[in-house]
Chain A
Amino acid sequence: MARDIFRRLVRWEGLLLAILAVIVVVTGIAVPGYLNPQNQINLLELSIEKAIVVLAMTFVIVSGEIDLSIASVMGLSAVLVAWLKEQGVPVEVGIIAALLVGALCGLFNGYWVAVIGLPSLAVTLAGLIGYRGAALLLVGDRSIGGFPEWFNRLGQQPLLGPFPLALMVFAVLLVGATVLLQFSGFGRYAYVVGSSPEVARFSGVRVRRVKLAVFAMSGVVSAFAGVLLLARLGAVRGSTAEGFELDIITMVLLGGVSIFGGSGTMAGVILSILVVLNLRNGLALANATGNTQAGVIGALLILSVLVPNLVAAARSRLGRGGSAEAAVIPKLSDL
């Protein structure tokens, strides 16, 4: 059983790697400038805040929950730094306050889910609306800019060689998240809690604590990503980061993390981030409209969910000796 899951995961990541290779090769040939190193940095930088939150969201989904409030927390934290700056609070202090508020938002979500036992879909949907509402209350319809030079520079200019700060932060967080999920006790608990909370409880895993920690992490990381977004844009308004949650969840699911929890790997998630960003960049460079980009990525998500299931279904039928269904397989491999 465990070996089956392992095999399926390897296959999923292999599929993603193949898709990524096809995207890179085709776009590299067809779209001039795509392989230019600066463009590769640009394509990461344009979505780096989302990619950072994807790392935290992976833990949430692996442990069998969902957090829809992430984008609202990003917006709230960015707005909070700006609003505090207007009240005369230094940006450094504002950032710390924003991270604290992010942690509180996450713990608040986690409390209702882990301690009270409400479904995370409902709790974090309330968070999505509530935290966004708080952001809008703070700044209304205004747009706040005029941050100190050092802050803008960190967000907008390369820090080391061609790499901006956010990219390096992402690299560090990526290593940290991979170690935490795949090679630590906490990571194993998250998988167990996600595949079966009962089994986890009987084996002595502190389910509540794991879930609380996962939500708190999601809140802090989202708040941090919100600050990075603020630094990159140099200005913020109440609707900043609105709608990001869908892109973020898409990347996690495309990475092979089961929406029911308990399975998926960080490697798959990374590949999925690269697939989505490269595909979107290639389409954008070819001047495809935003709607086309969304459509293509949506189709990819549907395919990535369907294909493995179809293959599994076809295999199990073949295993029973049926040969009529064999025709399905060449079609799939054409993809």
Chain B
Amino acid sequence: MRIKHSTSLSLLAGLALVASACGGPAAAPSQSPTQAAATPTQAAATATAGGVAKATPGQSVKMMLLPKFLGILPFAQANKGAGDAAAELKNSTALAFVGPTADNSVQGQIEFMTNAATQGYKVVMISNNAGDQIAPAATAAQAAGVKVVAWDSPIPSAKGENLFVAQVDFNEMGKVMADMALSIMGADGGKFAILSASPDAANQNAWIKALNDALKDPKYAKVQLVDTVYGNDQSERSYTQAQALVAKYPDLKVIMAPTTVGIAAAAKAMQDGKMCDKVKVSGLGLPSEMVSYTINGCAPQFALWSFVDLGYLTYYTSYMLATGAIKGTEGEQFEAGRMGTFKITKDPTRSAGLRVLMGPFKIYDKTNVEAEAK
């Protein structure tokens, strides 16, 4: 059944492609000769005066949104944002929101990336959970004409990646977490530990590194990081890891979880263990999942950005890249619909790679969490 369904879908897509190739502004000159051969629609790209590129809506581009895995709210929100952008750009080919299961994330992402060219995708938008293990597959996909746009979590070496749409500046993230730890512990400071996602999650690893760097500032002299553990973005594992941290460090004051799954699981573990007076939880969380813990004091402060916006910007960027409106080179500027103008720069937080920086993040506490949770 499924297979048949997809045939008719791709048939439709093919028809749409032919239609847009015939009916579109075919006279427009090709922006990038190397990609012109890949799809006829790419010839319709426009670059506008003033150096700020604009998208040409109505083209058919087959795009895949590939999160770390399916089944958690932030990625569903990103998909919603991407869907909004798809509707605005009138892409006649439906967006595919696909992904592996959490326990098969690395292998699964490699498989999706490998199959992308066969399936005829023009862009894979990936929140990379496979570290540099994804690089060979991503490089092969690029060689077959697929654009690879990372979002949320980049490819560390940037090999096989055209662009990274960063939610926030990764170095700044380190300071934000150090500040939250300090403000929760107070001037006396104390011990805290990190509960991260998986050891291959490039974004979390970069933030942890940034946090370690930030802690060197004398301002945080009394803030002591004692351990870093991994819950693999699985609730049960994160829950037991949080319990284990408290058992291992009796004078632990804060668990810092830079992952929405980890922070909610840790807060629940502290609440269930009636330890919220002693151990506070902080990090990156979704207001809707964290509201009760913030009100009852288990997680007094946490941060996040809008995943809807991140999905929207990623889609916009990827669409423009695939249609040739932007080439994905340093210094290019483009307009991303309702979110305004962005610029492609070198990624200062990695040794290689290009970045589109979204920002900003928002700090939540009991004064504003309820309004956002609705």
Identify the A interface with B (CB < 8 A). Answer: 26-27, 29-34, 36, 38-39, 42, 45-46, 141-143, 145, 152, 155-156, 232-235, 237, 243, 281-292
Q: Does A31 contact B136, Cβ atoms closer than 8 Å? A: no
- Alpha-carbon separation in the docked complex, A237 to B106 (Å): 11
Q: A141-B229, A243-B103, A287-B98 are in contact. Are A233 and B114 (CB under 8 A)?
A: no
| Interfacial residues of chain B within 1-37, with CB under 8 A of chain A in the complex | 2-7, 10
CB distance from B311 to the nearest CB of A (A): 18
B296 at the interface (CB under 8 A from A): no
- Known contacts: A141-B199, A235-B132, A237-B199. The answer to whether A290 contacts B108 by CB under 8 A is yes
26 cross-chain CB contacts under 8 A: A27-B3, A30-B3, A30-B4, A30-B6, A30-B7, A34-B118, A39-B118, A42-B114, A42-B118, A45-B114, A46-B110, A141-B199, A141-B228, A141-B229, A143-B199, A145-B133, A152-B136, A155-B136, A233-B106, A233-B136, A234-B133, A237-B199, A281-B115, A283-B3, A285-B119, A287-B119
Q: Identify the closest chain A residue to B229 (Cβ).
A: A141
Q: Is the CB of B199 within 8 A of A232?
A: no
Q: Using Cβ atoms and an 8 Å threshold, which residues of chain A touch B112?
A: 284
Taken together as a complex, chains A and B put the C-alpha atoms of A143 and B196 apart, in Å, by: 14
User: When the two chains form their complex, are residues A36 and B200 in contact, meaning their CB atoms are under 8 A apart?
Assistant: no
> Are B115 and A143 in contact, CB atoms less than 8 angstroms apart?
no
Chain B 93-123 residues near chain A, CB threshold 8 A = 96, 98, 100-101, 103-104, 106, 108, 110-112, 114-115, 117-120
Interface centre among A143, A155, A284, A285 (most CB of B within 10 A): A143
Instruction: Kindly state the separation between the CA atoms of A286 and B9 in the bound complex, as whole angstroms.
Output: 10
> What 19 new A-B contacts, CB under 8 Å, besides A141-B229, A143-B133?
A30-B6, A31-B3, A32-B7, A34-B118, A39-B115, A39-B118, A141-B228, A145-B133, A156-B136, A233-B133, A234-B136, A235-B200, A237-B199, A237-B200, A281-B115, A284-B115, A287-B6, A289-B101, A292-B2
Residues of A within 8 A of B106 (CB): 233
The reply to whether A286 and B200 contact each other, CB–CB distance below 8 Å, is: no
Which residues of the partner chain A approach B132 to less than 8 Å between Cβ atoms? 145, 234-235
Check B70 for interface membership: any CB of A closer than 8 A: yes
Tell me which of A34, A284, A287, A291 contacts B101 (CB under 8 A).
A291
Chain B residue numbers with a CB within 8 Å of A285 are 115, 118-119
Given contacts A235-B132, A290-B108, contact A141 B115 (CB under 8 A): no
Q: Which of B183-201 contact A (CB under 8 A)?
A: 199-200
Contact B115 A42 (CB under 8 A): yes
| Residues of chain B contacted by A145 (CB below 8 angstroms) | 131-133
- Which 10 A-B residue pairings sit nearest by Cβ, starting from the closest? A156-B136, A33-B118, A30-B3, A233-B133, A39-B118, A286-B6, A141-B199, A290-B101, A235-B133, A30-B7
